[in-house]
Amino acid sequence: MKRSIQVGRDSHGVAHIRANNRVDLYWGQGFVHGRDRGLQLLLMRILGKGRACELLEDSEEMLAIDRFFRRMNWRGQTEEPLRQLTAEERLILEAYSDGINTALEKYPWEFKLLGYRPEPWTPEDSLMMTRMVGYLTLAQSQAEIERLFVEMVQAGIPESHLQELFPGILGGLDISLIQKVTLTERLVPPQVLWQLPVPRMMASNNWVVSGKKSASGKPLLANDPHLEVNRLPNVWYEVVLETHDRYAVGGSMPGFPGVLIGRNPELAWGATYAFIDAVDSWIEHCKDGRYYREGEGWLPFQERKEIIQRKKHGAQEVVFYENAHGVLEGDPTRESYYLCTRWAPGDGGAQAVSAVLELFNASTVETAMARVRQIETAWSFVFADIRGNIGFQMSGRVPRRREGISGFVPLPGWLPENDWQGYHDPEDLPRAYNPEHQFFATANHDLNAYGNIHPINMAMGAYRAERIARLLQQKERFTLEDMCRMQYDVYSLQAERFMQYLRPLLPDTPAGKALAEWDFQYHTDSRGAYVFEQFYKTLYQQVFGKNGFGEAVVQYLDRETGIFVDFYANFDRILLSEHSVWFGGQSREDIYRKALEEIAHLEPRPWGEVQKFVMQHILFGGKLPRFLGFDRGPLIGIGNRATIHQGQIYRSAGRVTTFMPSYRFVVDLAETGLHSNLAGGPSDRRFSRWYCSDLENWKQGRFKILSPGTDENLLPFR
């Protein structure tokens, strides 16, 4: 098929694609994704299909990885979502796949070393990517905290402690039943999964400001997704898509067509993750390969058999037992009680494809809000249009549960009343249109107040959202430059709140003086930030270690999981309380004083000294000499968990993990372009000049401008 397409790079290396129609346009996007991010694309597909043992490395650890992805089965159940697409949308997915395959006729040399010649990319692969991106470390964090809750019950944590830590969401709790559940080992050892090139995704900020508060008179929009930045290439891929009368500029994700966050001529949009609880577990009573159902007796599971090919060993057959409650964790031939878990969007994807493709043509906030709320996975979108409207809309498939049930506690699977009763109408999801205060911000916090339903039961802390709101209330008129500066803000409202109780207790030591003089900023030279973080860790060791989980468990959760990172709001609620059952009969002043005593003689260090990290290549990271340039760094990260510029560096699952703004962009709808910087560059090719071409801008706080049709002398796309 003859296509009319122009592909080139601007002076920043960003791909510009121009075509006469949308089908050709997305062929071009597939081509640039395949050429610039072929390694990323193919590695993600290998993992998503559970073929790591076959194609990457045959080991018991990789076998566990393959079992995890086969269990999730994101590559399956694609026929129905594809049927739901319009004829044009199917053509676009096919054209996008054809573009990738044309580019991969020259596939990355790394796969030649592995002895792997890639199969063609298909529309089914793109659907699989939407599911992977919507679950991994996002919805997965909800599953992890629910699993931790079960382990807490089985460890004998008193109900009074559980009710205080998880207020209002423990409806249906049956402690004696949960204690009977047989928990198998995690299907994927945490120390293994994240050593692979799977992007860790977590927090983000976005906010939108009405033209009534803008110096230009048009709305402003800012977005900075906080993902794992110590990996190369970046998860995001910037692109400029143009037809004769329209354009879209912004961040795309290789494997999927369209601009996920960015702008077109009339509309700008940004997204953060919404902590919707769409993952539920049920307790199944199993024996002889069957499960019990009240009124129906003992029923057989559906058995899904998977064959995992291995490079060095014989193929292994794995059997997964499934029913309406999802996939069983355990062997039903052995009589016991096991968990069965389901993720609501697991068989979706069509609505995500349709919505993202329609954003190219959307021109009003209302139109965009109506479309994106149909997306199956959980996101918080903000919008602005040139007419001056702004809005917020949450998306996500939310299970309808019986009265008083949040979905957090596993319930008896044999009782029909505990089944999902369909899904809530997307019209009832949280949203806001032209709010009175003339701005709206989301930062992964609790946004239930804006909906007719309450889909969130465990959110991140509201500190970042509150800081954004505080700054946006300080001026009458804001500029694009103000938005850019805000994305680098490192003031901690969390620290401010703790310090109001801590300040009267400070000792006359260097550590105490560093805290007394601290301005609550997490700059690289801040010594108060370093001391406060040591106090904070000591505090929750005392409260949740000595009086609850046990010190060894708290150390593990702190060092090897994201529990204290993702859900610190629940823990802070207790730590800031005047009285708590977790205090073991002590007062807040007592436990703060004891924590201070432990760090009183600590030598204050600049925050930057403990905020160093290395950006590692997704395949060769840490395996090749540094001088070859596959890895970059060390770099220094500013900020912490509760600052607008999030700057978390910690060990998780056996390796260093970072959460920082992976991509920043700001839009003023008085202009035609977009201001951005990226932690990395357009290409995953180490020897390309575009491998890390935007990294210095990202470090220094400089923003480049991406605009359609402004660079008539585009560089050849090589």
Reading the block at residue 427, the tokens are 């019209």
Cα angle, residue 366 at apex, residues 360 and 270 outer, rounded to 5°? 55
Q: Across residues 166-184, what is the average pLDDT?
A: 94
Confidence of residue 554 (pLDDT cuts 50, 70, 90): confident
Q: Across residues 60-64, what is the average pLDDT?
A: 85
Percent of the chain with pLDDT over 90: 78
pLDDT in tens, 302-326: 999 999 999 999 999 999 999 999 9
Distances (CA, A) of 56 to 44, 51, 59, 62: 12, 8, 10, 9
pLDDT in tens, 291-300: 999 999 999 9
Give the range among 348-357, 462-471, 505-514, 657-666 with minimum mean pLDDT.
657-666
Q: Can you spell out the DSSP letters for 12-33?
A: T--EEEEESSHHHHHHHHHHHH
Distances (CA, A) of 654 to 43, 135, 479, 557, 630: 21, 21, 43, 12, 21
Reply yes or no on whether the pLDDT at 329 is more than 90: yes
Q: Across residues 408-437, what is the average pLDDT?
A: 97
What residues are paired with 715 via a beta bridge? 9
Task: Classify residue 372 by its DSSP letter.
Answer: H
Give the model's pLDDT for residue 187. Answer: 32
554-566 burial, b for 16+ CB within 10 Å, e for fewer? beebbebbbbbbb
Reply yes or no on whether the pLDDT at 233 is more than 80: yes
Percent of the chain with pLDDT over 70: 94
CB 426 within 8 A of CB 344: no
Residue with tokens 């949009």: 269
Reply yes or no on whether the pLDDT at 276 is more than 80: yes
Reading the block at residue 702, the tokens are 């400089």
- Three-state secondary structure call for residue 592: helix
Confidence of residue 200 (pLDDT cuts 50, 70, 90): low
pLDDT in tens, 636-694: 999 999 999 998 877 555 566 778 999 999 999 999 999 999 999 999 999 999 999 99
Give the model's pLDDT for residue 195. Answer: 43
Q: Across residues 460-470, what is the average pLDDT?
A: 95
Residue 39: CB partners within 8 Å, gap ≥ 6? 108, 110, 111, 233, 618, 619, 684, 685
**451 versus 542: which is more confidently predicted?**
451
Reply yes or no on whether the pLDDT at 562 is more than 70: no
Reading the block at residue 599, the tokens are 């760090």
CB 77 within 8 A of CB 304: no
Reply yes or no on whether the pLDDT at 709 is more than 90: no
Q: Across residues 591-607, what is the average pLDDT?
A: 94
Reading the block at residue 630, the tokens are 């596959």
Give the model's pLDDT for residue 655. Answer: 60
Of 238, 228, 235, 254, nearest to 614 by C-alpha is 228
Distance CA 212, CA 669 (A): 13
Give the model's pLDDT for residue 174. Answer: 97
Q: Across residues 13-36, what is the average pLDDT?
A: 97
pLDDT in tens, 390-415: 999 999 999 999 999 999 999 999 99
Determine what percent of the chain falls in helix, strand and coil, rounding each to the nearest 5. 35, 25, 40
Reply yes or no on whether the pLDDT at 439 is more than 90: yes
Distance CA 460, CA 15 (A): 35
**245 versus 560: which is more confidently predicted?**
245
Confidence of residue 271 (pLDDT cuts 50, 70, 90): very high
Reply yes or no on whether the pLDDT at 71 is more than 50: yes
Q: What is the CATH number of domain 493-609?
A: 1.10.1400
Confidence of residue 627 (pLDDT cuts 50, 70, 90): confident
Give the model's pLDDT for residue 351. Answer: 95
Give the model's pLDDT for residue 148. Answer: 84
Q: State the virtual CA torsion across 7, 10, 14, 20 in degrees, nearest 10.
A: -30
Cα angle, residue 386 at apex, residues 383 and 391 outer, rounded to 5°? 25
Give the model's pLDDT for residue 559. Answer: 65
Distances (CA, A) of 82 to 153, 262, 350: 42, 26, 6
Give the model's pLDDT for residue 710. Answer: 62
CB 250 within 8 A of CB 40: no
Reply yes or no on whether the pLDDT at 189 is more than 90: no
pTM of the model: 0.94
pLDDT in tens, 353-375: 999 999 999 999 999 999 999 99
Distance CA 327, CA 340 (A): 5
Of 191, 228, 192, nearest to 53 by C-alpha is 192
Q: Can you spell out the DSSP letters for 476-517?
A: S-B-HHHHHHHTT--B-HHHHHHHHHHGGG--SSHHHHHHHT
Amino acid symbol at 488: Y
Q: Across residues 43-55, what is the average pLDDT?
A: 93
Helices (H) and strands (E) in the chain, counts: 24, 29
Give the model's pLDDT for residue 192. Answer: 37
H helices of 272-386, where? 350-358, 365-372
